[in-house]
Structure 1
């Protein structure tokens, strides 16, 4: 009798266990389906990924084009500015060079009286104009004469040194003082060179 009761009890436990396992399995399946639907429903909330990328590229392109246009415009303006300045310098060099040729034609004996030649003065002046387009022919001749008069006692006073001072915006007197002469000595040297150049033009 007790054996039958035990068998019946075991059968009931087995049946309840099977039912529990089936219910647990169904619960897992339902939960998985719910998560799948939830994930699928969440996607439409935002724009498609391709739309976002296209929009970002478009915005980036617009911004880049704006900077590029501005950069090209600025570079173009700066380039044009440099080109204009270069043309002005070339034009000024040509004008000064033509004036030098005129001075040499008007005073054919000047170069010889200054112990040089017209060709040397002309070619040297044109070379100096490359560094300083504002240099006048009279300044170049004066620098040449001053170097000849002062160079023996003052080796640092050369034509190139005087021309460098003029290119830096200094006067001949200031340049001579920078090269070691006193204010009075520089003034006297200028007067002597001016007198010699005037005499050379008139002979």
Structure 2
């Protein structure tokens, strides 16, 4: 009986030692895992960084430049379109005024031995280079070239029109083409008189 009691007590003691040892080992492993997890966290990428953020930033930057580029191109394109429309509108208005002038004063063409259609066609062509050219200026340039061209080969209608397109007056243009100031003034007055006579007779 005494021997059995001793064996039972010994078995209980061994069990207690075994359980205590296992509990200590488990606790140590838990601490080790906890420390390892905390150590790994600081080494990882912070929130909002890394490849995802890089792609987002690159996309934002690219879209910004693209939007700016499209906006600038659009503004420039619209500017060119508006300028082109203004030129076309001015040329159309001037050509319409020329049609009315020729209908009222057909002698403007016939006095220069030209048909009304021929004079109009020449003026329409000149408007493509200078939409601000008036019909009166074109008629004057044509008459001046007719009156002066024989003795002054440089003085042609195209040369006079080029001077007008550059913003010069007819008098200044004639001087640039070789006439003196007085000669240019006299030639201009003569042409003005001829044009007035054609209008009165028309």
Shift, 1:89, TM fit: 0.8
Please tell me whether the aligned partners of residues 173 and 190 of structure 1 are also in contact (alpha carbons under 8 angstroms). yes
Aligned residues: 163
| Deviation per residue, 1:142-170 (Å, 9 max, x gap) | 00000001111111110000000100111
Match of 1:89 in 2: 87
Shift, 1:110, TM fit: 2.3
Match of 1:100 in 2: 98
Structure 2, unaligned stretches of length 5 or more? Answer: 1-38
Structure 1, unaligned stretches of length 5 or more? Answer: 1-40
Please tell me whether the aligned partners of residues 114 and 200 of structure 1 are also in contact (alpha carbons under 8 angstroms). no
Match of 1:55 in 2: 53
Match of 1:69 in 2: 67
What is the TM-score with the length of structure 2 in the denominator? Answer: 0.76
**In the alignment, which of 183, 194, 197 is matched to residue 192 of structure 2?**
194
Hey, what's the Cα distance between the residues in 1 that align with 2:44 and 2:157? 79
Please tell me whether the aligned partners of residues 151 and 157 of structure 1 are also in contact (alpha carbons under 8 angstroms). yes
Match of 1:168 in 2: 166
Shift, 1:44, TM fit: 6.0
Q: Mapping of 1:1-203 within 5 angstroms? A: 45-47=43-45, 52-203=50-201
Shift, 1:102, TM fit: 0.3
| Deviation per residue, 1:165-190 (Å, 9 max, x gap) | 10011111111111111111100110
Hey, what's the Cα distance between the residues in 2 that align with 1:64 and 1:46? 28
| Deviation per residue, 1:11-61 (Å, 9 max, x gap) | xxxxxxxxxxxxxxxxxxxxxxxxxxxxxx77961429xx62221121011
Hey, what's the Cα distance between the residues in 2 that align with 1:43 and 1:53? 18
Structure 1 outlier segments of 4+, above 3 Å: 41-44
